[in-house]
Amino acid sequence: MTEPRDFLLQIESIAETHGSFRPEAYRFVLEALERAMVDRVQPAHVSGEILLDSIKDLGRDRFGIMATDVFAAWGVRSTLDFGRCVFHMVDDGLLNKRDEDSLRDFIDKFDFRQAFEEDYFLGKA
């Protein structure tokens, strides 16, 4: 079993190796993944779509209308960037994927400003 400190160091290493996103982005994806898994009736594979729904919900809960700005500070500007985080962790062995899983599953699934700001003011959040 990986020790928490080793796990955090591995995330730091992934962030440093790829240089695209801050470690917080990877940790947030993992937290959203855990949340998506807990919300399922039976343990099962979490698709990109389900993970993005969990990311959206967690972003709203944690950061509200500031989510877009927080994600930008981490280097994440789109749903595709969250997909890149996922596949960086797959490449490093932190996550597993199925053959049918693809980075395409994360392309343009929702607009951050719409999901976290406009919907908030319209009462849809």
Per-residue pLDDT of 13-63, as tens digits, reads 999 999 999 999 999 999 999 999 987 777 778 999 999 999 999 999 999
Answering whether pTM is above 0.85, one says yes
Residue 86 · residue 28 · CB < 8 Å = no
The H-or-E segment that residue 61 falls in is helix 48-63
- A 10 A CB-CB count for 77 gives 12
Q: What is the pLDDT of residues 55-114, one digit of tens each?
A: 999 999 999 999 999 999 999 999 999 999 999 999 999 999 999 999 999 999 999 999
CB 102 within 8 A of CB 64: no
DSSP three-state, residue 103: helix
